[in-house]
A and B are shown apart, each in its own frame.
Chain A
Amino acid sequence: MSFLIGDEMTGGYGGADILHDCTVSVERGEIAVVVGPNGAGKSTAMKAMFGMLDLRAGKVMFDGEDITNLKPQDRVLKGMGFVPQNSNVFTSMTVAENLEMGAFIRRDDIAETMDQVYGLFPILHEKRFQPAGELSGGQRQQVAVGRALMTKPKVLMLDEPTAGVSPIVMDELFDRIIEVARTGIAILMVEQNAKQALNIADKGFVLVQGENRYTDTGAALMANPNVRKAFLGG
């Protein structure tokens, strides 16, 4: 049994089903990437695993526990962190306040975790008294990831962390994400930049129309001629 697994999930936002028996999973210290064409249900699968939509069938297991019916807030308490794709920072609040709010559920001293986040993203330390809304796109993503890390999650879910940032910033973000994974946190992310994402992935899930099309290691998917032709531009 995987550390976090959305098992044969079926469901949508109330209307027609978007996910059909879709399975996504990730292990501790591993990076799992969900790729696929637009409208494949990548983000939906991620949201389903975080409890942001109701599943008609299937279940979500986390650390051996069935969490299918937990609210997102309760999943945060269990040790899941989520970085949404859009509006993922408190724009009117400073970087430091953003991190502090990320740690809202914690009652212990957060200074150490904050230092770890600053160590991971040195630019945030420099800009800690600046409102997050004034930062560049790449820096905002760092704030968003940092905010999610403040709860010391066991699994970090990222919804297109590199959307709208330059290729250089994207590479840097991926480097940081690998660093986070090395600390033993499971990372599950949805990516548009399929090639780069599969390059760093231990495991890849190619979704098409809400169904699993290919599931393999990142390297194997990169080497698979069918996947290359259909999803990675040859």
Chain B
Amino acid sequence: MADILNPLVILANFILVPGLAYGSQLALGALGVTLIYSVLRFSNFAHGETMAFGAMITILVTWWLQSAGVSIAPLPTALLALPVGILGTIALCLTTDRLVYRYYREQKASPVTYLIVSVGVMFITGGVIRFIIGPNDQLFGDGARFIMKARAFKQITGLNEGLAIKTSQGVTVITAVIVVAAVFWFLNRTRTGKSMRAFSDNEDLALLSGINPDRVVMIAWIITAALATIAGTLYGLDKSFKPFVYLQLLLPIFAAAIVGGVGSPVGAIAGGFVIAFSELIITFAYKRVVTYLLPESMAPEGLVQFLSTDYKFAVSFFILVIVLLVKPTGIFSGKSI
């Protein structure tokens, strides 16, 4: 029995738990990308930097709270700083919209123009972030490090392998569930949320119905800013905060949005988990799992790893290409791009 349980615990420890956390972070990021795509109809390449910006503000406020001795241990203080981070990011998004995107909306620019514009916004935002907080790793996590320690798990179960659950992972998953539920409630139950869906579905008819496009755009930015800040902060808590990493996150986030179906909120969430688990499953070294399952004489010599973790971004890229070739509208049939 232990021969089956031990490898399962390894898989849970190295794939299931980190996958749930990473998948939640990607899902929140992809949800923001999909919202902007639905309402403003362009692929927002600045989304990664928006996440970094939100995380940065949250970190600065966290440091300030920490120095003032405020703590909500065992939870990380960053959760307390999150609302300020969200407000700062909303200000950033609304300002860029006012200064940059609004001009192109009035010009009725093509989606490709928008995309290039968003790349420009990405570089500027990235520059501002490096200017304020620098390009290095920043630590801001505090509170209890683990919900479940590997050693405690071994003692409780008597198994050889341990299962560790970090506080940041638990916080990530729970926060993501709450945020996603709130977004769906907003989109499906409130008048404003429905008007956003109507605007995304059929812009001309929405105008004929008296829906104010400026308001819809503004609310889309506000929600996107909140989602980006939460996703960025959770990712920073879970891994570490390094501005450059958020630029790299853009690929898995876009892959998640496209796999799920751009413009489909459910798809963005499903896509986030598909990408997260694919990355982990393909880059995990299965040597120890296999060792448990096979007789000793057949134990593998190598790591039994499909791809080195250095290539984890290749996984999202590969999935992206497959989806675009086979089903460009994604799993939940969003808009074809």
Contacts and interface: CB of A to CB of B under 8 A. Distances in A.
Interface in B40-55: none
A76 B202 contact: no
Interface string B85-123: 000000000000000000000000000000000000000
A8 interface: no
A144 B209 CA distance: 11
A3 interface: no
Contacts of B209: 76, 101-102, 104-105, 147
A147 B204 CA distance: 14
A54 interface: no
A93 B197 contact: yes
Given A100-B194, A101-B194, A91 B210 contact: no
Contact of A90 (B205, B207, B210): B205
Interface string A92-106: 110001001110110
A151 B201 CA distance: 20
Nearest to A74: B210
A71 to B, nearest CB: 9
Given A72-B207, A77-B210, A104 B195 contact: yes
Interface residues of A, number: 21
Contacts of A102: 209
Contacts of B202: 87, 89-91
B205 A93 contact: no
Contact of B206 (A82, A100, A101, A151): A101
Contacts of A76: 208-210
Contacts of A147: 209
B204 A101 contact: no
A52 B11 CA distance: 61
Nearest to A144: B205
Contacts of A196: none
A73 B203 CA distance: 13
A76 B208 CA distance: 7
B211 interface: yes
Contact of A93 (B194, B208, B210, B211): B194
Contacts of A199: none
A103 to B, nearest CB: 8
Nearest to B206: A101
B198 A73 contact: no
A129 B115 CA distance: 36
Contacts of B205: 84, 87-90
B210 A97 contact: no
A135 to B, nearest CB: 15
B333 to A, nearest CB: 10
Contacts of B210: 73, 76-77, 104-105, 151
Contacts of B195: 101, 104
A182 to B, nearest CB: 25
A90 B201 contact: yes
Contacts of A77: 210
A92 B38 CA distance: 12
B198 A82 contact: no
- Give the interface centre of A82, A100, A101, A151 by most chain B CB atoms within 10 Å: A101
Interface string B207-218: 111110000000
Interface of B: 191, 194-195, 197-198, 201-202, 204-211
7 contacts: A73-B210, A87-B202, A90-B197, A90-B198, A101-B194, A101-B211, A104-B209
Q: Nearest 5 A-B pairs (CB), nearest first? A: A105-B210, A90-B201, A101-B198, A92-B201, A104-B209
Given A84-B208, A91-B201, A104-B198, 10 more contacts: A73-B210, A84-B205, A90-B201, A90-B202, A92-B197, A100-B191, A101-B194, A101-B209, A104-B195, A104-B209
